[in-house]
Amino acid sequence: MNSHYLTSSRTNPVFYLFRQTFSENFDWQNYDLEAVHQTAWQEFWELEGHQLLEHKWHKRFPEYREQSESFNSEEQALWLELWEKHVNNLTAKFWHILSCASENYRNDLEKSFGQEETIEDIKECFEDLNFSKKERKKKKKTSKKFAEKTEEESFLGDNEISLDFNEKEQLRLLGLPTSFGSQGKQNLKKLRNLTDSSSNSEDEDDLIMENESTNQLHGVQKGFISKKNQRKLNKVKILAAKMPEFMRDENNRKMIKYWMKRFSLFSRFDQGIQLDRESWFSVTPEKIARQTSRRLACDLIVDAFCGCGGNAIQFANTCGRVIAIDIDAKKLAMAKHNASIYGVSHKIEFIHADFLQFAVGTKLRPDIVFLSPPWGGPDYQKQSTFDIEQNLLPVGASHLMKLSRNLSSKVGFFLPRNSNMTQVIALSGPGQQCEVEHNYLDTRMVALTAYYGEGLVKAN
């Protein structure tokens, strides 16, 4: 994430920032990036500072080590002065790096909510809008009393809208990954305290869905909601209104998480990116697709399962020509449209075909074949180990590799993070090697990319 701010080649202070934010004891109730920044700095400097200072010192003044024994007292005083300057400068420099990283991270958190909200707004939204039942009654009593006096000092009525999202959405609203394993649950508990520990999450889901779909403040008694809250509600409503229609369906509620990370899928999402249901959960996030495209830069590449174009668009930036194949014509049309948003559609040839047949019939000999077939939907995660021979679609991994190798000896294979590693390695063939890249976004492993064939495998 935003590595362009981090110039330190030896030690990366941003890890200390993440270590703080994602630590088990992190206090979400009093979420304070400034405090995180301070603690991260302390940890970083205590653990790394001394070594860094020494390392840089000896690099700057190699002669010091050799001659220090023979310095007279005047020279010693000068060196001491120099050392103090060195310490001050470097401390300031690393403090600056960490500050940039902090600021950067804050911006990313805000952006993850859709570029319009700040993290403070969202936090306030939860705090202001989700009173516990007990508290609601208290507020209601107070509100009646105040309503008699003035309309300005008003509160939500009896059947007010509760804007509690389900647990994962709450984390996402705060810009946080939802998969920290058990830690996620602990954080959720803390977050729940922040909102409403007694409320029923299904009811909450119903409320949010109902309100989003009708685009009305169901049950809000006019005049009983402050202007500030009204503005926040409106903002949340506007964001929710932008969500694709099918995600409002009760059966597709889990899909909302993909919408929440739309800018990580396509940084130009707001310029009109089109995705169908399957592509929402299958598209390769842009940063990962970009990394893969750097690894697979060549003259001619075949993207055998191009979908809505997540990988193909990035290949167009690093490869001379891209052949993008998909069995679904609608996805191909969307891929073409999406590629035009990135200004690369002219570099991609879109072919409507079944790759299994294409690979047998074509005379094309690309430099590289890239495979990112369907994994059977998001439920791939439910298996502790994903069997790439049994569960990939439309056929097992070995079959896909065999077809691909008819076209090129070099193959990139995008696979689930829980893939059976023995099977992944076995695809290399007898006596051959492969390289398996773990694709991380921020602190989360999203998937694996395996590289096969001489010239692609770094170890060869």
- Chain residues in the site for ligand MGP (CB under 6 A): 178-179, 257, 281-285, 372, 374-375, 377-378, 380-381, 414, 446-447
* Complex with ligand MGP: residue 49 or 374, whichever CB lies closer: 374
CB atoms within 10 A of CB 185: 11
At its nearest, how many Å lie between ligand MGP and the CB of residue 283?
6
C-beta neighbour count of 23 within 10 angstroms: 12
Distance in angstroms (rounded) separating the CA atoms of residues 22 and 180: 8
CB 169 to ligand MGP: min, Å: 12
391-400 CB contacts, 8 Å cutoff, 24+ apart = 394/354, 394/356, 395/356, 397/423, 397/424, 397/427, 398/426, 398/427, 400/304, 400/371, 400/373
Binding residue for ligand SAH, selected from 233, 283, 400, 434, defined by CB under 6 A: 283
**Terminal-residue alpha carbon distance, the chain:** 29
**Closer of 350 and 375 to ligand MGP (Cβ):** 375
Taking alpha carbons only, the member of 229, 112, 118 closest to residue 171 is: 112
Please identify, using beta-carbon distances, which residue of 143 and 170 lies nearer to ligand MGP. Answer: 170
CA 187 to chain centre: 18
Choice between 155 and 266, CB closer to ligand SAH: 266
Which of 117-137 are b and which e, b meaning 16 or more Cβ less than 10 Å from the residue's Cβ?
bebeebbebbebbbbeeeebe
Stretch that binds ligand SAH, among 31-39, 99-107, 275-283, 344-352 (CB under 6 A): 275-283
Which among ligand SAH, ligand MGP, none contacts residue 311 (Cβ within 5 to 8 A by kind)?
ligand SAH
Q: CA-CA distance, 16 to 45, in Å (whole number)?
A: 10
Least Å distance, CB 437 to ligand SAH, is 15
Return the number of the residue (53 or 300) whose C-beta is nearest ligand SAH.
300
The item of ligand SAH, ligand MGP, none sharing an interface with residue 350, based on CB under 5 to 8 Å by kind, is none
| Interacting positions 127-166 with ligand SAH (CB under 6 A) | none
Give CA–CA dist 425/433, Å, rounded.
8
| Of 249, 354, 402, 460, the one binding ligand SAH by CB under 6 A | 354
Please state the closest distance from residue 131 (CB atom) to ligand MGP, in A.
29
User: 56: which 2 tokens?
Assistant: 């840089």
Pattern 377-416, ligand SAH, x by CB under 6 A: -----------------x----------------------
**Least distance (Å) from ligand MGP to the CB of residue 237?**
25
Provide the minimum distance between the beta carbon of 333 and ligand SAH in the complex, in angstroms, as a whole number.
Answer: 12
The nearest distance, CB 445 to ligand MGP, in angstroms, is: 8
Nearest CB to ligand SAH, comparing residues 188 and 356? 356
User: Quick one: 205 or 278, whose CB is closer to ligand SAH?
Assistant: 278
Kindly tell me which of 123 and 277 has the beta carbon lying closer to ligand MGP: 277
Tell me how far, at minimum, the Cβ of 296 lies from ligand SAH, in Å: 13
Nearer to ligand SAH, 176 or 283 (CB): 283
Residues in the chain: 460
Question: Least Å distance between CB 324 and ligand SAH?
Answer: 9
For the window 298-337, what string marks contact with ligand SAH as x by the rule CB under 6 A? -------xxxxxxx-------------xxxx--x------
Query: Site mask, ligand SAH, residues 46-75, x = CB under 6 A?
Result: ------------------------------
Q: Which stretch binds ligand SAH (CB under 6 A): 201-209, 241-249, 366-374, 452-460?
A: 366-374
For residues 172 and 109, the answer to whether their CB atoms sit within 8 Å is no
In the complex with ligand MGP, the residue whose CB is nearer, 12 or 372, is 372
DSSP 69: G
| # residues near ligand SAH by CB under 6 A | 24
444: β partners: 441
Q: Take residue 226 and report the two structure tokens written for it.
A: 């402050």
- DSSP secondary structure string for all residues of 155-193: ---TT-------HHHHHHHTT--S--THHHHHHHHHHHH
215: number of CA atoms within 13 Å, CB side? 7
Residue 284 CB neighbours (<10 A): 26
Task: Give CA–CA dist 105/86, Å, rounded.
Answer: 28
Q: In Å, how far are 161, 209, 309, 360, 400 from 357, measured between CA atoms?
A: 54, 43, 21, 5, 11
HEC letters along 113-124 = CCCCCCHHHHHH
Task: List the beta bridge partners of residue 350.
Answer: 324
Which is nearer to ligand MGP, 219 or 378 (by Cβ)? 378
**Binding residue (CB under 6 A) for ligand SAH from 356, 426, 441, 446:** 356
- Site residues (vs ligand SAH, CB under 6 A): 278-279, 282-284, 305-311, 325-328, 331, 354-356, 372-374, 394
